[in-house]
Every structure is written in C-alpha cells, then in structure tokens.
C-alpha cells in the first residue's frame, strides 16, 4: 500500500505543470492576438494571469471543469478560441481537466525544460496563453495522449 501511495504522490507532483515553472516560454513568439503585460493583467484574473502568461499552474483538483461532463466546447479563457471538445475529455485522476486530443490548428506546442527534463507544453495558438502539457499516458483505445490542462485557462461553452 505504501508503494502504491508513493507512486500516486510522485505522479501527481510531476504529472502536470509545476508552480516552479514561472517563465513565459511564449515571449519570443508572435501570435495573432498580442497584448502588453498590463493589458493582460487588466483582462485576466490574477490566477489566470499567473497560469496563462507566466506559465504557472493551478492547484490540483481546484477546477470545477475537472469534473464537468456536460456536452460542449472548451475555449481559451483569454481569447475564446475553441481548444477541446467535450467528447475528447476523460477523467485522468490527476486533478486537472484532461483530453485525448485538441481541436487541430488551435493549440500550439513547444518544449518546456524548467523542471530539469523535457515536457511538451501546450498554449493557445491565437493568443499564446499557456494551457498545460501533453503526455503519452492517455487512453490507449484512442490517441494515447493526455492533454493535462489548467482549468483557469479554459472556459466551457455548453452545447445548445
């Protein structure tokens, strides 16, 4: 039992974006929506700014979107670009909303080496907002990917 708990704890600590990561890896990139730091601070909550513009992370299990199972689309909370469809969402048990695929063309990818190893970072292709990371431990019956996304980076639009 101790071995199992150790593995679960280790997985949670290293499975998604870490609060140790504070730099904005998107600084040098140009995106269709480009705003100054002060403009983003006016438009985003302090937690959204920390996650999306400083590449931070929200606390695990803190987002109501983690357990949202309604039909609809998850959009970028900064610019409302559609990012993920509800039919591709699954419960990963990590405490963050997880998806097995993105809406093609709306999510951009990069490398994040801030924890001493390489991870695949995801950000909105329209505004550059940091979303989370993608891992290769998702559902094997679909893509095998787990897009581990900060809930504050998303807004849910229910299907009408």
Is residue 42 situated within a structural domain? no
Q: Report pLDDT for 160.
A: 85
Is residue 8 situated within a structural domain? no
Is residue 152 situated within a structural domain? yes
Structure token digits, residue 55: 């590449």
pLDDT surpassing 90 at residue 49: yes
pLDDT surpassing 50 at residue 17: no
Domain CATH for 126: 2.170.150.20
What pTM did the predictor assign?
0.81
Is residue 5 situated within a structural domain? no
What is the three-class DSSP state of 69?
coil
Whether the CB-CB separation of 134 and 147 falls below 8 Å is answered with yes
Is residue 96 situated within a structural domain? yes
Distance separating alpha carbons of residues 160 and 78, to the nearest angstrom: 22
Q: Give the pLDDT band (50/70/90) at residue 140.
A: very high
Distance separating alpha carbons of residues 40 and 78, to the nearest angstrom: 8
Count the domains in the chain: 1
Distance separating alpha carbons of residues 107 and 53, to the nearest angstrom: 15
Is residue 1 situated within a structural domain? no
Q: Give the range of the structural domain holding residue 71, as residue numbers without chain letter.
A: 59-158
Nearest Cα neighbor of 52 from 95, 81, 85, 93 is 81
Is residue 137 situated within a structural domain? yes
Structure token digits, residue 80: 């409302």
**H/E segment holding residue 112:** strand 107-112
Is residue 82 situated within a structural domain? yes
Q: Report pLDDT for 20.
A: 37
Name the residues annotated as catalytic: 148
Phi, psi of 24 (to 5 degrees): -95, 105
In what order do the strands lie in the sheet containing 107-112?
89-90, 98-99, 146-149, 130-135, 119-124, 107-112
């Amino acid at each position: 039992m101790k071995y199992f708990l150790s593995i679960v704890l280790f997985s949670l600590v290293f499975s998604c974006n870490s609060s140790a990561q504070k730099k904005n890896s998107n600084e040098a990139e140009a995106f269709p929506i480009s705003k100054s730091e002060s403009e983003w601070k006016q438009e985003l909550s302090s937690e959204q700014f920390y996650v999306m513009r400083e590449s931070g992370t929200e606390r695990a299990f803190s987002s109501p979107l983690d357990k949202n199972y309604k039909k609809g689309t998850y959009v970028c909370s900064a610019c409302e670009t559609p990012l993920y469809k509800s039919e591709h969402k699954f419960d990963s048990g990590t405490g963050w909303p997880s998806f097995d695929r993105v809406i093609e063309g709306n999510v951009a990818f990069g490398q994040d080496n801030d924890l001493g190893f390489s991870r695949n970072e995801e950000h909105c292709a329209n505004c550059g907002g940091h979303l989370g990371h993608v891992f290769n431990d998702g559902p094997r019956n679909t893509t095998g990917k787990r897009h581990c996304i900060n809930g504050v980076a998303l807004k849910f639009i229910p299907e009408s």
